[in-house]
Chains A and B, each alone.
Chain A
Amino acid sequence: MATDSAAVLDGDRLEVAKARHPLAEAAGMFFRNHTAVAGLVTLAIIVVGSLVGPYVYTVDPYEMVWAPFSEPGADGFVFGTDYLGRDLFAGVVNGGRVTLAVGLSAALLSVFIGVSIGALSGYYRGWVEEALMRITEFFQVLPTLLFSMVLVALFGASLAMVTFAIGIVSWTAVARVTRSEFLRLREMEYVTSSRSSGARDLGLMLIVILPNALPPIVVQAALMVGSAILFEAGLSFLGLSDPNVVSWGQIIGSNRPYILDAGWTVALPGFFIFVTVLAISLVGDGLNDALNPKLRER
């Protein structure tokens, strides 16, 4: 009898031990979501292709290799040639890196600004919040694309300037999300108890509150990468990108005058931007469902 009950107890303990870490739970949910996994796989292929591609397909994207406007597949060029007779496939293979890099760094910049402003205003309240929210409101009123266009046009179309111009106008949504999370969490008991045991403001913000505020911020950040890529493509389309660095948007911008005669020179790189952003949106949606199950859309 005694051994039996011990076995039952053991069994109970096993049950308890099976309770999973919330992150594992979220990961499980994410990977059961077919569209999210499809997005992740697509994104992985695009990222790996952009990183490795230039070493596999070694045609120089800047070199004129053939007559201009050769149709896709006609003269041995899968994607044809552009208005200068450059190999479009080489352009697409090499352009991905810059597009992804600009999108990622601009998103990081805007998340950094947004989280800082949102955290400070949500944590301190009072006049700090008032002032920072005024700044946020100011950037919401600013016509984003126009302002970035002016920045890039005035201060030069370097990659760094383009990244900065995108990041500086895109952070308001992150700031609002972060602020509302901080407003909610700062009243939680575990925060109060950390404070009463002597935690400093900075420690409370970064170590106690921020990790718990992360789920919605992560979702916002993921979507931000997508919109930053679209933003970069838009600027490039208007001719406001570094003319010396090939990116998907830059190919579109430089071939824009010839869309009616050589639509593929614009359609193909645009398609890659579209698929990349779509993949990122799918991953973002999947993260949203996995990390915020209560807020999930039915």
Chain B
Amino acid sequence: MSVLTLLVRRGGNGLALLLAVLVLNFTLIHNAPGDVADTIAGDMGGADAEVMAQIRRDYGLDRPFHEQLLAYVGKLARGDLGYSFFFNQPVTELLLERLPATLLLVLSAQVLAIMLGTVLGVIAARHPNGLLSHGVTIFALLGFSAPVFWTGIMLIILFCSIFPVFPVAGMIDVTVEGGWFVKTLDVLYHLFLPMVTLASIFLALYSRLARASMLDVLGTDYVRTAQAKGLSEFQVVYKHALRNALGPVVTLAGLQFSGIVSGAVLVETVFSWPGLGTLAFQSITARDAPMVLGILFFSSLVVIVANLVTDLVYSLIDPRIRIGHRG
């Protein structure tokens, strides 16, 4: 099967999943006690029945459920996710505004975790009973067991309170003057702690997996052949074995995306990082229904796209694997 037909098929599957997510979330929010009118009335300090009815008419809440759902899906197809009454802004606009910050955080943390994790795992695999190998195993367990927000808070206490070297919160310092280079440095400076915090959970997973997968590969015949024909240890490990050992790591990275979104919500909240996570937290606390729906939809979309990209990357790394035939 060509990559294209598989892309189309999986894309269709993804669309169906997305629609299901949408219907479930819409139904949930629709059936939750209290609605937009209650929230707005609460903000206004109370409203009489007539005003409430007016608000419900304005938001189309007086219409039957299926009409509201259809209207929502119809608008969504045109890229319109509704209007956030808490932020006073169209939902789509706000999502796109906050997306870059989250992408920067999530991708940098993933890259850090995958690279460092693979290196640690490979080093550990070369001496499976050595001190370093045990160190990696223990380190992995520690990272995996600590609540991610707690790790973040500990880093804040350590590097912002005891040794004040990093900023506590935010993404930019408005007092910083200078060109784009200085501004970029400032963002990276703010990014460091949140990135390390988010990476800590996944570093554990990747190093463990890379170690196990590398051990498997190092035991195969072709690696022995490579050794026998006199290639250097470095070439055998990093050129021949690593490529095959990477497959499981990449798969895990893709499957982890739902967890990454969860981690991002917590890390962003700890460091007041102005991304989708803090937006989600604020809108859920404020019961901003259109915003909440928009975020749930958007993050499901991100997960689906990530899965698709994983399949593609996987087939690039390992041409034997054809998409859709994974066990």
Is A141 in contact with B21, judged by CB distance below 8 angstroms? yes
With A151-B28, A153-B287 known as contacts, the answer to whether A278 contacts B262 (CB < 8 A) is no
Pick from B28, B141, B168: contact of A154, CB under 8 Å: B28
What separation, in Å, do the CA atoms of A163 and B206 have in the docked complex? 29
Question: Quick one: closest B residue to A266, CB to CB?
Answer: B153
What separation, in Å, do the CA atoms of A77 and B4 have in the docked complex? 66
Is A274 in contact with B303, judged by CB distance below 8 angstroms? no
Closest CB in chain A relative to B148 CB, distance in Å:
7
Is B142 in contact with A278, judged by CB distance below 8 angstroms? yes
What separation, in Å, do the CA atoms of A239 and B145 have in the docked complex? 21
Is A234 in contact with B153, judged by CB distance below 8 angstroms? no
With A141-B258, A150-B292 known as contacts, the answer to whether A273 contacts B284 (CB < 8 A) is no
| Chain B residues near A238 (CB-CB < 8 A) | 265-266, 269, 281
Bitwise, B7-43 to A at CB < 8 A (1) or not (0) is: 0000000000110110001001100110000000000
Q: Within residues 152 to 167 of chain B, which ones have a CB less than 8 A from any CB in chain A?
A: 153-154, 156-157, 160-161
Is A143 in contact with B266, judged by CB distance below 8 angstroms? no
Q: Within residues 135 to 155 of chain B, which ones have a CB less than 8 A from any CB in chain A?
A: 141-142, 144-150, 153-154
Question: Quick one: closest B residue to A275, CB to CB?
Answer: B145
What separation, in Å, do the CA atoms of A259 and B144 have in the docked complex? 23
Is B161 in contact with A263, judged by CB distance below 8 angstroms? yes
Is B265 in contact with A260, judged by CB distance below 8 angstroms? no
| Chain B residues near A267 (CB-CB < 8 A) | 150, 153-154, 157
Is B258 in contact with A140, judged by CB distance below 8 angstroms? yes
Main secondary structure of the interface of A (DSSP, over half): helix
| Chain B residues near A83 (CB-CB < 8 A) | none
The answer to whether B122 has its CB under 8 Å from any CB of chain A is no
The answer to whether B84 has its CB under 8 Å from any CB of chain A is no
Closest CB in chain A relative to B132 CB, distance in Å:
15
What separation, in Å, do the CA atoms of A273 and B146 have in the docked complex? 7
Is A260 in contact with B292, judged by CB distance below 8 angstroms? no
Q: Within residues 21 to 67 of chain B, which ones have a CB less than 8 A from any CB in chain A?
A: 21, 25, 28-29, 32-33
Q: Give 5 nearest A-B pairs by CB, closest first.
A: A145-B262, A270-B150, A154-B32, A278-B145, A143-B299
Q: A270-B146, A278-B142 are in contact. List 18 more A-B contacts (CB 8 A).
A: A140-B255, A141-B18, A143-B262, A144-B262, A145-B266, A146-B299, A147-B296, A150-B25, A230-B145, A234-B148, A234-B262, A238-B265, A266-B150, A267-B157, A270-B150, A277-B145, A278-B145, A281-B145
| 15 examples of A-B residue contacts, CB within 8 angstroms | A140-B303, A143-B258, A143-B261, A143-B299, A145-B261, A145-B265, A149-B265, A149-B280, A154-B287, A234-B148, A237-B149, A237-B266, A238-B281, A263-B161, A267-B150
